Structure 1
Amino acid sequence: MTAPARYSLPEGIVGLKGPVDKPAPGTLPLRGDLAHVALADRYLAAHYVIPHVRTIGSAPATLKLTMRDDADEGATLAAGQEIELLDCAGDWAWITCGPEGPSGYVRLGMLAPGQ
């Protein structure tokens, strides 16, 4: 699988040199267990994922900072907007607009079907 054409993947041996600032929730696609593969040269995570390109469905989708309907909200994405799917858990999808974010959770039903 290859990364979407809008960014490049880190090449060669990837390593971190000293501490890095932790980004605010809802910004970069980075969790303790998983991160967008394009962040591998800047942030340490247990696993890195190559995202799947998907689309927001017919209604705008507001990102949640956790997998709960009553969670704090992040950015709102337009209907039909292309996004990157990073992970699914139950009825929730962890998505981002790219390696620089924003990122967050939406119900899987908010994504366009058939992709």
Structure 2
Amino acid sequence: MRLADRVFAPHYAQAVSRRLREPTTLREARDPASPALVTLDAGASFELLDLIGDDAWGVAPTAGLVGYLPAATLAPLPAAAGS
């Protein structure tokens, strides 16, 4: 919802906070040849909005940028308590 004034979408999703397991590049588009927006360090937070194939789309809060990165660079979610 925080991006509603900057990005049009037919629906909006609640972001899921994740961490990066390794350094990666946030890109403007899914194409690996698209312009790089910023390089993110391992451990950086990423607000995941959508998974599209092998790519994750979301917000890099420390950079204040929206873009794509390889989904494989996201650390797995911790197991639910009691599982």
TM range (shorter): 0.7 to 0.9
- Say if 2:53 is the partner of 1:87: no
TM norm structure 1: 0.58
1:73 to 2:39 alignment: no
Question: In the aligned structure 2, how far is the partner of 1:39 from the partner of 1:90?
Answer: 22
> What is the Cα-based RMSD across aligned positions, in Å?
1.8
Higher strand content, 1 or 2: 2
How far does the alpha carbon of each residue in 1:44-82 deviate from its partner, in whole angstroms, 9 at most, with x for none? 53211110000011x211111111111111111110111
Q: Within the alignment, does 1:97 sit opposite 2:60 as a pair?
A: yes
Mapping of residues 2-81 of structure 1, within 5 Å? 37-40=1-4, 42-43=5-6, 44-57=8-21, 59-81=22-44
Amino acid paired to 1:102? L
1:110 and 2:37 aligned: no
Identity across the alignment (%)? 36
> 1:4 is matched with which residue?
none
TM-score (norm 2): 0.77
Q: Which runs of 4+ in 1 moved over 6 A?
A: none
